[in-house]
Each structure stands twice: as structure tokens, then as C-alpha cells.
Homo-oligomer: A and B are copies of this chain.
């Protein structure tokens, strides 16, 4: 890495670039310019060049970027050129869907543990995993070498789930529960809250409509 601090927005865009580059690769494209990639991602071409410059020089002047090489470089930069073991806490509708969803494994995030505090769910098998009591997280996290936790509990149990995960030594958490959680500084947290997105859509529709009326 070349630069010390990297904007949060850059990381998000890098994830988009990975998505688009993988599609390009499937379609057989081997070279792409920052212009072409920018159009596919809906961003400014300089933006892409700047984002990449935080990590190194991956392009060839006068040519562009070799898709495969760039993909490898970005994945390396993001730390996703390896596999990560992941625990999921909260085996409800959403939790089940994620456990069964192939995308995590395909991208190197392997769901190796499913946890819930409901005695009726404990022992049940979901997507080849036995649901284990949340209290046993600590023991399981070290046994299974888990580094990331996913929270899919109801909001009121999100903080407790987080506490179990942190106590167990997890280094990062993706929280799908619609609740803020507090964690120590050295634990990375990301919120996935689809209500926020649907609110945003509703707001923009309202705005567009009032614009149309004026």
C-alpha cells in the first residue's frame, strides 16, 4: 500500500470495481481503460485512477488496465485474496437465507458457525450447519478460527450478540439488525440496513414528484 489513510468511499467503490471487473472477465474482456470502467460503474474516470493510486500503479499508460491483473491487485489490496471464517448469530428468516446463500462462500467468506439463543432452534440443521447456543460462541470461535461475525438477530438482541462475538475475539462485525451497537475501537463494524435504503428511495420519489408538480 502506498498511502496511509484511505477514504471510506474509496473502499466501497473498490468493491464495485471488483463486481464489474468479474463480469468483464466472464465476458472475455482482457483490457479496460479507466474511462470504460468508469462508465460501467457510474463514476468519474479520475476517481478510479485516484482510488487505485492509493494502493499502487496497476495500469499501463496508453493501454489501460489488464482486467485479470487489476482484479487480483484490488482483491489483494482489500484483503479478500484469502478466505475468512464467519459466524452468523440469529437464525431467523434472514439468517437462514444468508446461510443458504452461495455468494458468501463464492467470495471467500465461509459461514462455519450458526448461533441462536432460542432452545427450539438449537440443534436444528441449516445449510449443513448445526445451530449452536450463542453462549458457546467463545469456545466455537477459537475452535473454528472465526474472525468475522454476522448479526441477524432482532434489534433488541443485537447488542448482546455483539457482546458475545467481541468477547469471543471476533475482529469485525456485519450487523443486519436495525439497531446501533457499541463496540471497542479495534473491532470493525458495518451496518446493512435495508430500511435505510428503502427510506431513501421513498424520499427521492417524493422529491421527484414535488419537482414534477412545480
CB within 8 Å of B: which residues of A?
8, 11-12, 14-16, 18-20, 23, 40-42, 78-80, 84, 86, 93-94, 96-98, 100-101, 103-104, 107, 109, 147-148, 150, 155, 171-174, 176, 178-180, 186, 188-209
Contacts and interface: CB of A to CB of B under 8 A. Distances in A.
Given A103-B178, A107-B195, A201 B18 contact: no
13 contacts: A8-B200, A15-B200, A23-B179, A79-B207, A80-B199, A94-B97, A94-B101, A107-B198, A171-B209, A174-B197, A174-B201, A176-B194, A190-B198
Contact of A180 (B18, B41, B93): B41
B208 A186 contact: yes
Chain multiplicity (copies): 2
A202 B150 CA distance: 12
A173 B201 contact: yes
Contacts of A197: 174, 190-192
Q: Label chain A's interface by main secondary structure.
A: helix
A198 B174 contact: yes
A19 B176 CA distance: 13
A93 B101 contact: yes
Contacts of A200: 8, 11-12, 15, 188, 190
